């Protein structure tokens, strides 16, 4: 089954405060000689149509990536749901031909190259509204497919105080797609300083789908 890339707007979630990494933009830290976000964009871009960065603060720090940068439309660093809502509302205004958004975490550079295809397939097969990735018995709602049609519902929920993803998804038809965690978890994220060494180890590993050999690492901007 094929899916039109133009139906899916990719939303790169980079709006967090990165407290466990000491603050700042961990997605701009280098991995294999290039910004982590550049690695993520390379994996996301072939899977979607429009692509947008959800990030708060000065947008000029993302200029090198040549993508739209949109801050949370709900204030107060309200978590991943704020990024989802922002992506939905941006797509509704700027990409009206995209009935769905797909969210990608800004700190997980090894996600599957068939992520969007498998999420979309599960949505069709199971008649779901929302489909998220899972691995190792854990859901990864930051890697999920969301219908833009739920934007008003999500805004109302967030304005009523909802912040937890599972509280919102409980009111909608929900499905998950599982990925194996061997030889590595494709949703591994560099969330703490100790994780960075593991990310560097995985980067360039022959086990990682689509990874570059270390000898071929490029430099420069995205």
Residues comprising the binding site for GTP? Answer: 13-15, 26, 54, 72, 107
* Binding annotation: 13-15, 26, 54, 72, 107
- Contact between 36 and 126 (Cβ < 8 Å): no
Question: Which of 133, 172, 147 lies closest to 91 in space, CA to CA?
Answer: 147
Residue with token string 């994780």 = 195
Annotated binding site for Mg(2+): 107
CA distance 201 to 167: 36
Whole-angstrom Cα distance, residue 190 to residue 86? 23
- CB neighbours of residue 165 within 10 Å: 18
Q: Of all helices (H) and strands (E), which one includes residue 94?
A: helix 80-94
Residue 44: CB atoms within 10 A of its CB come to 20
């Amino acid at each position: 089954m094929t899916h039109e890339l133009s139906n899916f707007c990719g939303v790169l979630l980079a709006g967090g405060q990165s407290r466990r990494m000491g603050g700042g933009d961990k997605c701009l830290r280098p991995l294999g000689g290039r910004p982590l976000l550049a690695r993520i964009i390379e994996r996301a871009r072939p899977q979607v149509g429009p692509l947008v960065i959800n990030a708060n603060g000065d947008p000029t720090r993302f200029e090198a990536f040549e993508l739209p940068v949109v801050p949370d439309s709900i204030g107060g660093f309200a978590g991943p749901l704020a990024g989802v809502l922002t992506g939905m509302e941006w797509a509704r205004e700027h990409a009206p031909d995209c009935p769905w958004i797909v969210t990608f975490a800004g700190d997980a550079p090894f996600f599957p190259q068939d992520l969007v295809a498998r999420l979309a397939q599960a949505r069709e097969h199971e008649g779901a509204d929302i489909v998220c990735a899972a691995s190792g018995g854990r859901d990864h709602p930051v890697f999920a497919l969301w219908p833009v049609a739920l934007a008003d519902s999500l805004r109302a929920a967030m304005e009523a105080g909802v912040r937890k993803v599972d509280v919102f998804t409980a009111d909608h038809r929900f499905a998950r797609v599982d990925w194996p965690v061997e030889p590595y978890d494709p949703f591994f994220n560099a969330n703490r300083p100790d994780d960075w060494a593991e990310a560097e180890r995985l980067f360039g590993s022959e086990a990682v789908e689509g990874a570059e050999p270390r000898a071929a690492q490029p430099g420069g901007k995205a």
